Structure 1
Amino acid sequence: MRPFYLLLKLSLNISFRLFYKRFLVLNKHKELFGSTIYVSNHPNSFMDPILIGSLNRPIVHFMTRSDVFVWWLKPILWSAHMLPIFRQQDGTDTKGKNTDVFNKVNSSLRKGRNILIFGEGFTDDIPIRGLKPVKKGPIRMGFGALESINWSKNIYISGIGISYTDRNTMGSEFVLDNGPKICLNDYKQSYLENPSKVINEVTRIVEKNMQDCIVYVAKPARYSLLEGIMQITRKGYNNLNHDDHIPLLKRWNYSKQLATWINQNVTDESTEILALQKDLDAYFNLEKRMKVQDRFVLAKKEPELVSTLNNWLYLILIWPFAIVGFIHGFIPYIISKKVTEKIMKRRVFWGSVKMMMAQIIGSIYNVPIIVLVTKWYLPHWSLGILYYFLIPVLWRLSYEYAHQFKEIQIKRKMKSVDLSKFAEKRAELEKRINELIPVA
């Protein structure tokens, strides 16, 4: 393991705990090294590799699109265990360049190292609750490595699934699920007889395992049906509308079960359910246009959703820490936000880039502040070091402080709005869901 990779693994592990409200890593593989090709879905661009590399135990080398490897970044990317993969749109002689890369992959697998590759190939701009067809490249890579070492060592392949409640929002949640390992050596005889058939077969198995690791809706046209039902029942994996008292794992399993039911039961002839989907879409689109959050529609039934008591308690109790966090974190936050949104045209990159950039800028920005504070106010330098490592926590408190203040303003404003028509429509939708969807 290269030192920079270790540093990232440790520091980002902490960053995730501050960026996300909660998360789960399921079915962890225990081996640091295991000659395994991990194939993951790719819902969140830069966030996915750093998340898998930091939170999973196995040490991995990342297959990364080659256009990222500009000259000044190459040493950093090499230190972070990244290997380029060349695509047709990257220019001429991609086959020759990839041959060199695959030789390095073969060598890594022979030495017991692990490879991480994203089987979908790219990230969608619009979030999906699905999985695009998994490419055959990872399976070909595994069998190619076995051929290069004359089948003398076991090489494995494993699917990974990541499900976010909202991929770019601080305070959201995710579940990372690791699928079972498949030993490619078990297919030796069949592969020698018919390589194409076996590659297709193993690709289908890995794809199915990946589907089992996420909240998976087979048809994109049904994404909004799942999302609408989850929001009305508040039992599912929607970031804005869910019951926070329900454990994350239970909400994730509920959403998977609901998605499976939709896959198995909803067809183009399911007129009542399709009419329900249309009405759900209309209801939530109207809320969006009117700038109404669904929790305010539930205010009479669940008044705690609009109570400001907890918000005021937070403001009263946390303000000293929030001020300190603001001093240390505001400038790095603003710089990372402005720069990211200016240079990154695709919003899918924003969450991960902002988090990484704020971490780097904040680490540098706060060194002279801590030196001065230690010199003038603290009795020993060790307290200054401790203070330095507490800065991310203080900044997170200040960020939450601003959020709680905004919450009070929103709740005050919404108290004067008549939402009775929304409440009637919501009650009707809830009744139809309970009648038509047995797993809801």
Structure 2
Amino acid sequence: MLLYRFLKYWLKPGYKVYFRKIFIRGMEHVDKQKPVLFAVNHPSAFLEPTLIATSVDFDVHFMTRGDLFNRRFLWFFNATNQVPVFRFKDGFSQLKSNRDSFSECHKRLINGARLLIFCEGSMKWVKKLRMVQPGAAKLAFGTLEKKEDLPLVIHPIGLSYDDHSRFRSDLMMEIGPAIELEDYFEEYRTEPRKAVKELTAEIQKQLNQCVLHIERDEDLETGALLWTVVKNDPEFSGNNGSSPFPEVKNVLDRFNKSAESKSGILLRDKLSEYDSALKRHKLEDATVGKLSKNGLPVLSAGIFSLLFLPFSLFYLLPLWIATVISRNTMANVEFYSSVRAVLFIFFLTVLLLAVLVVMWFSPYSFFWILILSLGVGIDLRLRPYRLHLLRFFKAGGSWKPVRKLAKLRGEILEIIKII
């Protein structure tokens, strides 16, 4: 438990640096007096469990891929509340171990634990919710069979990343209302297969409300750009610091339903045209949106940010080391993103401790520590403006492509209103 708490409070401030913003909604739905099964989507390796654990004020237990369990590190998995679960591809002999794992999960839930299960059954970096597997429903019913009066509930949790492989991107975490199990369990007594199927369908339905979902595979690229455009536009997502999830969710749901309509086809064509133009001019939507509305102030802030550029080395050096190691050791984006984030926090911690030790033994140590803290904090806030400035000059330092792209962007925003 001590190791769990240490990792939780070590990772939490690190994630606040790695991500630009972490939006969390729905925490009020969770009754802290009840055992809970969290049904979570799984687009990365271990960002989801660690982000959830660092965002709540109670301990969380995790069902983890059994093939990752190594006897030499069994102490670590036990100390961090992890229970192994095996898949068909891990072999039949390993599948037999699931009986013990599920018994352990039943015991923990009966004792009041909050247990997290990745209900899609596997991880995949894709901006959609995949099919929910029956494991969560079976686990819930198996627990209730052992203690029928247990007030167990299921909460869906959806994590929607702008791009979890990108430094200083945003994350939206949605915690849905509790799925009560009493009626489902009554049906389970007489028709277990039907009850499992119906509860799984309900989890799918409720989790879908917590995830930014792009339905068709052929729409994944244009849908992701639409997500970005809506999120970056204050007219749609607001500008009050609250989560833009409801607004982006509303637009994506209408986008999914409009695949065959005239306005839907037009929107997809415009998004494809806009995407090609962005790539051609080496610009990004956020830059186009900012420059088209407040061009000179944004560029002025970008120039001003250059004064704080030396402070960026404090976080860019750990990021560079973490990126190099992750690229050379991780074969897929799901593990790359998770490993990169944790390595960044590790090397940032090492650098921070080294700098603090040096400064502590220097004259006016408090003054230098204060300057470093303020400098890094201000630089992180000004960094987006510096990136806008850099992209502007990469595009040739001309307003012509910005105006052209802004016009396309405006057409997209108008079509969104009628789909």
Residue identity (%): 20
Secondary structure (helix, strand or coil) at the match of 2:361 reads helix
Aligned position for 1:141 = 139
Contact 1:31–1:57 (CA under 8 A) maintained in structure 2: no
Deviation at 1:145, TM superposition (A): 1.2
Amino acid of the structure 2 residue aligned with 1:168: S
Name the CA distance, whole Å, in 2 between partners of 1:211 and 1:64. 22
Contact 2:305–2:386 (CA under 8 A) maintained in structure 1: no
Secondary structure (helix, strand or coil) at the match of 1:45 reads coil
Name the CA distance, whole Å, in 1 between partners of 2:259 and 2:399. 37
Which residues of 2 match residues 202-221 of structure 1 at below 5 A?
202-221=199-218
Amino acid of the structure 2 residue aligned with 1:438: K
Deviation at 1:209, TM superposition (A): 1.0
The 3 A distance-change label for structure 1 pair 305 and 220 is farther
Name the CA distance, whole Å, in 1 between partners of 2:243 and 2:348. 36
Name the CA distance, whole Å, in 2 between partners of 1:405 and 1:425. 20
Deviation at 1:211, TM superposition (A): 0.9
What residue ranges of structure 2 are gaps of 5+ in the alignment?
A: none
Contact 1:49–1:62 (CA under 8 A) maintained in structure 2: yes
Greater shift, 395-404 or 338-347, is seen at 395-404
Contact 2:287–2:391 (CA under 8 A) maintained in structure 1: no
Amino acid of the structure 2 residue aligned with 1:136: P
The structure 1 residue matched to 2:255, chosen from 257, 262, 273, is 262
Greater shift, 301-310 or 5-14, is seen at 301-310
Which residues of 2 match residues 90-239 of structure 1 at below 5 A?
90-125=90-125, 127-128=126-127, 130-149=128-147, 151-230=148-227, 234=229, 236-237=230-231
Contact 2:157–2:174 (CA under 8 A) maintained in structure 1: yes
Greater shift, 2-11 or 27-36, is seen at 27-36
Greater shift, 291-300 or 140-149, is seen at 291-300
Contact 2:158–2:175 (CA under 8 A) maintained in structure 1: yes
Deviation at 1:142, TM superposition (A): 0.7
Secondary structure (helix, strand or coil) at the match of 1:163 reads strand
Q: CA-to-partner distance for each residue in 1:255-287, whole Å, 9 max, x for gaps?
A: 1111222334x244x245224313421331243
Contact 1:33–1:114 (CA under 8 A) maintained in structure 2: no
Greater shift, 105-114 or 22-31, is seen at 22-31
Name the CA distance, whole Å, in 2 between partners of 1:336 and 1:425. 34
Amino acid of the structure 2 residue aligned with 1:116: L
Amino acid of the structure 1 residue aligned with 2:10: S
Contact 1:41–1:161 (CA under 8 A) maintained in structure 2: yes
Deviation at 1:124, TM superposition (A): 2.3
Greater shift, 253-262 or 397-406, is seen at 397-406
Contact 1:296–1:305 (CA under 8 A) maintained in structure 2: no
What residue ranges of structure 1 are gaps of 5+ in the alignment?
A: none
Aligned position for 1:4 = 3
Q: CA-to-partner distance for each residue in 1:264-320, whole Å, 9 max, x for gaps?
A: 4x244x24522431342133124314423346666884242784211222333x36x
Aligned position for 2:284 = 293
Amino acid of the structure 2 residue aligned with 1:410: R
The alignment status of 1:281 with 2:272, answered yes or no, reads: yes
Aligned position for 1:438 = 417
The 3 A distance-change label for structure 1 pair 123 and 249 is farther
Contact 1:9–1:53 (CA under 8 A) maintained in structure 2: yes
Amino acid of the structure 1 residue aligned with 2:301: N
The number of residues matched between the two structures is 417
Aligned position for 2:61 = 61
- When normalised by structure 2's length, the TM-score is 0.86
Aligned position for 2:293 = 302
Deviation at 1:189, TM superposition (A): 2.3
Amino acid of the structure 2 residue aligned with 1:38: F
Contact 1:62–1:82 (CA under 8 A) maintained in structure 2: yes
Aligned position for 2:341 = 355
Deviation at 1:175, TM superposition (A): 1.6
Contact 2:11–2:345 (CA under 8 A) maintained in structure 1: no
Amino acid of the structure 2 residue aligned with 1:254: E
The structure 1 residue matched to 2:356, chosen from 370, 382, 390, is 370
Contact 2:292–2:403 (CA under 8 A) maintained in structure 1: no
Greater shift, 391-400 or 250-259, is seen at 391-400
RMSD of the TM alignment (CA)? 3.4
Amino acid of the structure 1 residue aligned with 2:357: V
The structure 2 residue matched to 1:427, chosen from 407, 414, 419, is 407
Greater shift, 398-407 or 70-79, is seen at 398-407
Name the CA distance, whole Å, in 1 between partners of 2:359 and 2:406. 55
Amino acid of the structure 2 residue aligned with 1:259: L
Which residues of 2 match residues 31-46 of structure 1 at below 5 A?
31-32=31-32, 34-46=34-46
Q: CA-to-partner distance for each residue in 1:314-346, whole Å, 9 max, x for gaps?
A: 333x36xx44x73x5565433322111110121
Name the CA distance, whole Å, in 2 between partners of 1:406 and 1:164. 20
- When normalised by structure 1's length, the TM-score is 0.82
